[in-house]
Amino acid sequence: MKIDNLIRHISEVDNKLKSEANKAVNQLLTFRNWLIGYYIVEYEQSGEDRAKYGERLLETLARKINKKGLSYRNLKLFRRFYIIFPEIGQTVSALFKELDAYFQLLEDGTSKGQTLSAKFQSSSTLLKKNIDSVFVDEKIKLASNILTRLSFSHIVLLLSVEDELKRAFYAIEAIKGVWSVREMKRQINSLLFERSKLSKKPELLQKQIKENIIPENRNILVKDIYTFEFLGLPVANAVEELDLEAALIDHLRDFILELGNGFCLEARQKRILIGSEYFFIDLVFYHRILKCHILIDLKVEEFNHTNVSQLNAYLNYYKKEIRQPDDNEPIGILMVTNRNDALVEFALAGLDENIFVSKYLLQIPGKEKLQEFLLKELMNL
């Protein structure tokens, strides 16, 4: 065997088995979340002491279980997952036979010792109630593809879509187009479903979209918050960040700390929860002289209004959830690039007091210095 053939064989084996491992982790995580939702709904319907907890059931479970990845928010998602996709249970027999040998459901009554597949074949009350019998086969087929070909982060986005037809549309398109989570979110926010209905030739719209989408690389290990929590890995590792952005943020952090007197680094890639969605702020400082938080968001892209809106949402979150009574209002700094130079925009976040604005201008690196920094770093990288 020649060295070139050896290299090719090793690369092919590595790519193939990484992809298979990735699929296995995704399926097991997704099934675990669905199964937890199933148990919660089943308890709500027939639990002997269910009246004791009522609406506080999920809060009680999260507090007593006390495990990463099984928070109140996640348990609520898992419950909704089961209610929206009860037909996933019908795919268990075909996809998870190997689990039956190890996973006996030890419960009271006649179901004691049943295998997973037998359990879901004999307990499908919610399935029969929610599925129109005309579309049973189609829904089970779609559920099987969702389970095997989409990550749970994809599914979380689908759960936010209320209309059943629209939800199925985005699931099918994501599977066909091998969309990333970010791409699915973008298509939902750009109203692809509605535009397709309004288009005289929706096939042309689909063709244009397909040409502009870069399919997700399924051969890399999943960088997904739910997957990392499932595997017990640090959530920080799940943050998807371009190498360029990461390098810029690292250098910007050092630049600010060296240049700015009073800056105290609080977090890099600060994760915050707004509603039911996680967001990440590139750099968060606390300024001990100005007595306020300073949020820095860096975008390696041209300036657009959505960047400002996102930073403004972060500032409002900090005002309401983080700011202490003796703190001044938070400050936001947005750094973006365009084709030929660097554009630095400041969001003063309603800082109307002249004295504080004067302090702000004195204590924070000026626009010119930040612009010079960004241009220099882009040239070096």
Exposure b/e, 35-46, CB count within 10 A at least 16 = b: bbbbbbbeeeee
H or E segment at 361? helix 354-363
Distance CA 314, CA 186 (A): 20
Distance CA 72, CA 66 (A): 10
Instruction: Give 344's strand partners.
Output: 335
18 is written with which tokens? 């990484």
Name the residue type at position 272.
I
Is residue 291 classed exposed, middle or buried when 0-12, 13-18 and 19+ CB atoms within 10 A define those classes? Answer: middle
CB contact at 8 A, 143 and 85: yes
CB contact at 8 A, 126 and 41: yes
CB contact at 8 A, 171 and 146: yes
Distance CA 57, CA 50 (A): 8
Q: Which residues of the chain have pLDDT under 70?
A: 92-135, 211-223, 234-247, 259-260, 300-302, 337-363, 367, 378-381
State the DSSP code for 345: E
Distance CA 359, CA 294 (A): 14
Would you state the torsion angle of the CA atoms of residues 144, 147, 150, 153, taken in this order, to the nearest 10 degrees? Answer: 140
CB contact at 8 A, 351 and 319: no
H or E segment at 316? helix 305-317
Q: Would you state the pLDDT for residue 109? A: 46
State the DSSP code for 366: P
335 is written with which tokens? 């750094």
DSSP count for the chain of H helices, then E strands:
19, 5
CATH classification number, 241-380, choose in 3.40.1350, 3.30.565, 3.40.50, 3.20.170:
3.40.1350
153 is written with which tokens? 């982060």
Instruction: Give 333's strand partners.
Output: 296, 346
Q: What is the CA radius of gyration of the chain?
A: 25
Q: Would you state the pLDDT for residue 125? A: 47
Q: Would you state the pLDDT for residue 217? A: 61
In 3D space, the residue among 320, 323, 342, 322 whose CA is nearest the CA of residue 333 turns out to be 342
Would you state the torsion angle of the CA atoms of residues 25, 30, 32, 34, taken in this order, to the nearest 10 degrees? Answer: -170
91 is written with which tokens? 């795919």
SS3 of 249-268: HHHHHHHHHHHCCCEEEEEE
H or E segment at 271? strand 263-274
H or E segment at 298? strand 292-299
Distance CA 7, CA 4 (A): 5
DSSP string, 21-74: HHHHHHHHHHHHHHHHHHHHHHHHHH-TTHHHHGGGHHHHHHHHH--TT--HHH
In 3D space, the residue among 127, 130, 66 whose CA is nearest the CA of residue 92 turns out to be 127
Instruction: Give 346's strand partners.
Output: 333
Task: For the chain, give every domain's residue range.
Answer: 3-225, 241-380
Phi-psi bin for 379: left (phi > 0), alpha (psi -120 to 50), beta?
alpha
CB contact at 8 A, 315 and 278: no
Q: Would you state the pLDDT for residue 345? A: 57
